[in-house]
Structure 1
């Protein structure tokens, strides 16, 4: 097992990508703090981990609330004594053309993705800098950290912003043995993506099947969605990587949608 004696905090881990990573980390020996806005969802993830013999705790966390993030990180450290891996995964989406996008909706998406990532980073670094072993920060970016799609301006802007935050952490954190990297998935069939399909179909005036075939998967090499297991595998590799040879990087897992 690759993460024995490691403690991980994962936001947005009540479902989707976050839950898949939490379960994979637990199978690899990590103690996992499952943070989510929906405490019941976090508790369900924890129950599944414990049923498989893993060690986990649930946290109710609004990543846009500085106090909630700080309290959550403190609870993890109080329980397990360290924080070795922190993953800023919580995210939302809003589909609208720029000319009709309200400032409130822009701010809401940016707050969860970018402000939330900053707050998790700040709280995690204060703990990791106290640890001789340092730590690992991971950010859930997207292929939209690299390019843009219509109707997703705040999401695209926020995901691009995570690249800058990550690289700053990699530079500042190196002296404290802290690494930072961004995971950039293609379309993963999560509830977030499932909600986008009818929204984009309506906005673009095409069928839901066409959204999947001609928008979401058009540029992949095989017409396939990226899977939860794909992203959990990347997250495991980045967390377990032993040196700063891999820091400040963005790893794209998208079935060839974006090649760098």
Structure 2
């Protein structure tokens, strides 16, 4: 899942923008529901004609979306549900996201040097000591993975040689519930379960708001730490 960067926005402003975004998507989607359902049915039928290739492409799209744009795989979820059912879709989506994260970890561990990681962290406004201290507790790892972009966190934790099993466990705890949420949102939209859809969208809004606030706090902590380390700070 692609994380939403948050640079300098207040919690209220972040919540307001996310609420507007989710509400707009919901209104447009329901206004065009018949057309969207027609497209979903067509794509689902196309996938059923070549289920193995369809599953492979959906898995690859989910993995690549960690580094590109997560909505690219999310848009395929309703069609995937129609073709395979919600549980296979959930497994492929979550597996693709986790494999995308593991790819960033492997790149950081085997192909990128520390100087490259430090430049990436500086570009994102994240203090180097936050991720490269070598003493990152598991609870903070969960927050970092759920809040910051994968191409930053995966590279950094890989370069840091963060324990692979702990990294994989953190990924599972973060990505599996989110994949579950996305799949059930897609199912409730397709089957026109408005009450469940509204509740799930509110839950998604809460999760996104928490992610934006956590990312902002991490960056603010990094700036405060950098200021404190300056002479006379």
The answer to whether the superposition gives a TM-score over 0.5 is: no
Q: Which has the higher helix share?
A: 2
TM-score using structure 1 length = 0.30
Q: Which has the higher strand share?
A: 1
TM-score using structure 2 length = 0.33
Bigger Rg over Cα: 2
